[in-house]
Structure 1
């Protein structure tokens, strides 16, 4: 049974983790097309959503402790929904490293009742 104040259930977390892990190889393939090698490390831009400022702040604090930048704000077009975004420290552009990082982000989000909504990067860093 899900608490009424829960933004992401355990089942949603499991499904999101599988979805995120399935998308990472496609994103990496595009980066490799742009000349990024698997030995290269890039800062990754991340995105999380949640339904309470306190949850967003808690996640943001945890991300900053990892050495990441973090910003949060309420969505204008969806009142009551918060976006947490920022940049990671450099992460190696190899599939195993990206999958480890993606799993960490999904778990960290779930711990703070936030949903990890994926990542992106700029190949020209």
Structure 2
């Protein structure tokens, strides 16, 4: 899908809303729960878009291009559609998290799907 035709994840949102600075606060909470920056955990991610067709196309893209991602599913979500799944384990340090976050932000934008959040299991 062309970025010029995005109806959900607009160029303005893409350019102004990534907020990588939030990852530092998220990691601090994760560390307070007992994880260390050297620990590796899968990330449970959430993308949102406005049509089921886009959600399914993005799900298929993730499955084809990230074969180590698991449990990728499409769900109805508040009049939109959510794509959720798990990454391969990533190191819980700011640099790899920000790198992954930027890559997923860019990948989502190219499919009109916004990265809506992520979390990890701490136990």
Q: Give the TM bin, normalised by the shorter chain.
A: 0.7 to 0.9
State the shift of 1:11 in Å: 1.1
What is the count of residue pairs matched by the alignment?
A: 117
TM superposition outliers: structure 1 runs of 4+ over 6 Å: none
Give SS of 2:7's match: coil
Q: 2:97 and 2:75 mapped to 1: Cα distance?
A: 26
Q: As a proportion of its length, which structure holds more strand?
A: 2
Give the alignment's TM-score, normalised by structure 2. 0.88
Give the alignment's TM-score, normalised by structure 1. 0.86
Give SS of 1:36's match: coil
Unaligned ranges ≥5, structure 2: none
Name the structure 1 match of 2:73. Answer: 71
Q: 2:119 and 2:87 mapped to 1: Cα distance?
A: 11
Name the structure 1 match of 2:12. Answer: 11
Alignment of 1:1-125 (within 5 A): 3=5, 6-17=7-18, 19=19, 21-65=20-64, 66=66, 67-69=68-70, 70-75=72-77, 78-79=78-79, 81-124=80-123
State the shift of 1:16 in Å: 2.3
Contact 1:42 1:92 survives alignment (8 Å): yes
State the shift of 1:38 in Å: 1.1
Q: 1:22 and 1:56 mapped to 2: Cα distance?
A: 27
Give SS of 1:113's match: coil
Unaligned ranges ≥5, structure 1: none
State the shift of 1:107 in Å: 0.7
